[in-house]
Structure formats: C-alpha cells, structure tokens
Structure 1
Amino acid sequence: MLGKPARVILAFTAVAPVSISLAYIFAARDRDWLMAILAVCVCLALGIISSWIVTAAVSKFEHLPISIKKVKSADKEVLGFFIAYALPLIFKGGSGQELGAWVLAGLMLMFVLWTTHALHVNPVLGLIGFHFYEVETQEGVTYLLITKKTINNLKAITTVIQLTEYGIVDSSIKG
C-alpha cells in the first residue's frame, strides 16, 4: 500500500484544478503572469506525479485477485469537484488571493487527508485516461477502483493492486 505522503499527493491532485481558477484570477485581475504560470505548473506537476504514483504502484506492488460483485461509476463526485474549482472564480474579490489563507487551507486539507482513509475520484487523472468506479467485492467490502478500462463486465477486472485501505488499481494498467 501507499504511504501517507503518496496518498496525500493523490488527494491534492484531486483539488489541483483550483490552481487553474487561481491562475485565471492572477492573470485577468492582477496581470500577475508569473503567479498565473506557477499556478498552472502546480496543477500539471501534481497530475504527472499522481500518474507516476499509480503506474509505479502497478509495477512494484503485489497483484491481488479480486472477485467483483457490484460496480458503479464514481463520476457523480466530479460535480462536487467542479463546484470547488469554480469557487475561486466566484469569490475573486480582493481577499480571495491571500497566499496565507491558501496555505492555511492547504495545511488543513493535508491534516484531514493524513488522518483519514480518503481516496477520491481524481479529475486530473481522469483527463489522462483513468476511470473511477465504486466496486463491491464478494466479501461485501467497497473500494474505489482506478482503471483505464470502461467496465461493462464484472469479470473484466480479475487482479488489482491495493493502493490504500479502500483504494485499488486495476493491475493491467501499463506505464
């Protein structure tokens, strides 16, 4: 399984597109092109690192058999992420860009992620071809499955890598 730092990076990547909203604010309102470019680079870097974490886990971690009883798309969570990404655009007044406030919010998020079993749908990974499904095993345990496949058949996934306590990756993913 992944250590907590890698899990936190994966979770931060899920909210990384907020930095795209911030980049727009930096560029459109303040003409601060350096901060705008930096914000976009943060999003891109987190996406690349997360993709590497997932593909490296597939090649290095133990492949485990799985028998899936139920599967459903986890895409419904993307709407909540979209709203979070848009909030900085809505509240782009003078106080929305205070770096200290963003650092404090980031530290609070890191604390929550560090102390929970959270693994969420990750729209940044979705952009590079990953799909997210909520799957229930024959034993009745529910996991978030990350795969590059579109699942139309419960038997399509037979082995996985366990990323976190409740997060698994299709072992057929290639780097």
Structure 2
Amino acid sequence: MLNSLARLALTATAIAPVGFTYAFVAFFNDALKAMFWLLAGSVVLVVICLWVLRTTRSRRAPAAERHKITTVEPADRENMAIMLLYLLPLFTADFDKLNWVMWVPTIAIFAFIAVTSHSYFFNPLLGAFGWHFYRVGTPQNVTNILITKRTIRKGDQDIFGIELGDYVILETEK
C-alpha cells in the first residue's frame, strides 16, 4: 500500500506545476473560475504528497532499514525535459484557445509514464520545500534514488530509510 500511495503522491506533485502554469495563463485571460480550480487542485496534490512523505519518514512510521551507501550524486539532471511540459501552456496566449483535446492526453501520458517508470521521484516543488534527491550507490553496485531532507555530500555511510518502491528510498528520522 505504501509503495502505491507514495508513488502516486510523488507523481501528483511532479504534475502539479502544470496546473500552476495553466492557472497563470487562465488568470491573464480572466478565466478566474478555471484559475481557482487549477490552483486548488495543484495545492491539494502538493499537500497530500508532503503529508505522505512526512508521515512515512516520522518516528511512528514502519521500521526503517539500514542502507549502506558508497557513492552519492544529485539526481535532478533530468529536469530540463520535464520543464518543457511545465512551460508549454505559456506559449498559448489565450486560455480559451488551449487545445484541451491535446493537453489532457499529453498530461495523462506523462503521468502514466512517470508512475510506471522510475522517473516519478523528480519533484521540483518538493525541492522548494527542502527535499533533496540523490542517486546513491550500494556495495552491491545497485543505484537507488534517495529522498531526504538532509544535504549529503559524501558516500561511504549508513542511512536509515524505507523503500518506497523499486530503487527509491525515503530517509527516515532516527
């Protein structure tokens, strides 16, 4: 259950900036009702994700396991391709002329790919809330994504965390 819930929550916040961008376009086209619903939906998605992560990493969370990491590097280099999806609505000056027949399937396909692949961890909004994403290597030569509130500058250490899914670890409080 946690695996699916965490994956959906992380995917939702990866998609939330699209809603914020549409809301921005709607505001400048006096589509205030649409702007309100887009903002509200995006904020709700972010709040739910933050709640899932906070609850999962808390001291009351399921028992965390010790993970030995040998290498560490930032895991936010893939963001340029996703940023294009976030910015595309800005190229349409008129909110009423947005081609929803194209946009809804595009966002749905993006969400499907994100939730079924290992790219759902990319969350620019979570970075704004102090979350960091790292690629960490293990002694078994497996690379995982580590989601943490800490800044990690060196490998060769132990962390305590919960596996959110395949190759994704959420560092927990000690």
Conserved 8 A contact 2:148-2:171: yes
Q: How does 1:110-149 map to 2 (within 5 A)?
A: 110-149=111-150
- Taking the TM superposition and a 5 Å limit, the aligned residue runs for 1:15-34 are 15-29=15-29, 31-34=30-33
Q: TM-score, normalised by structure 1?
A: 0.84
Query: Structure 1 stretches of 5 or more lacking a match?
Result: none
TM-score (ref. length: structure 2): 0.84
Question: Superposed, which structure 2 residues align to 1:1-175 within 5 Å?
Answer: 2-29=2-29, 31-59=30-58, 60-92=61-93, 97-154=98-155, 157-172=158-173
**Structure 1 SS opposite 2:141:** coil
Contact 2:132/2:151, CA 8 A, preserved across alignment: yes
Greater displacement, 116-125 / 126-135 = 116-125
What is the distance in 1 between the residues matched to 2:104 and 2:83? Answer: 21
SS of 1:66's equivalent in the other structure is strand
Q: Match for 2:40: what amino acid?
A: C
**What whole-Å deviation, never above 9, does each CA across 1:25-83 have from its counterpart, x for those lacking one?**
11112x11111122122221111111111122223233011111110011322333322
Please give the secondary structure, in 2, of the residue aligned with 1:104: helix
Query: For residues 31 and 138 of structure 2, what CA distance do their matches in structure 1 show?
Result: 50
Give the Cα separation in 2 of the matches to 1:79 and 1:21.
16
Confirm or deny: 8 A CA contact 1:14 1:124 kept in the other structure. yes
Measure, in 1, the Cα distance between the counterparts of 2:43 and 2:126. 11
AA at the equivalent of 2:160 = T
* Structure 2, gaps ≥5 residues long: none
Q: Is the 8 A contact 1:63 1:171 kept in 2?
A: yes
With 154-163 and 44-53 compared, the bigger mean Cα shift is at: 154-163
Kept in 2: contact 1:145–1:167 (CA 8 A): yes
Name the count of aligned residue pairs: 172
Measure how far apart 1:21 and its partner are.
Answer: 1.2
Q: Amino acid of the residue matched to residue 48 of structure 1?
A: V
Change over 3 Å in CA distance of 1:88–1:152 after alignment to 2:
same
2: distance between equivalents of 1:130 and 1:22? Answer: 25
Flag the 1:75–1:117 CA change in 2: closer, same or farther, 3 A. closer
Matching residue's letter, 1:63? A
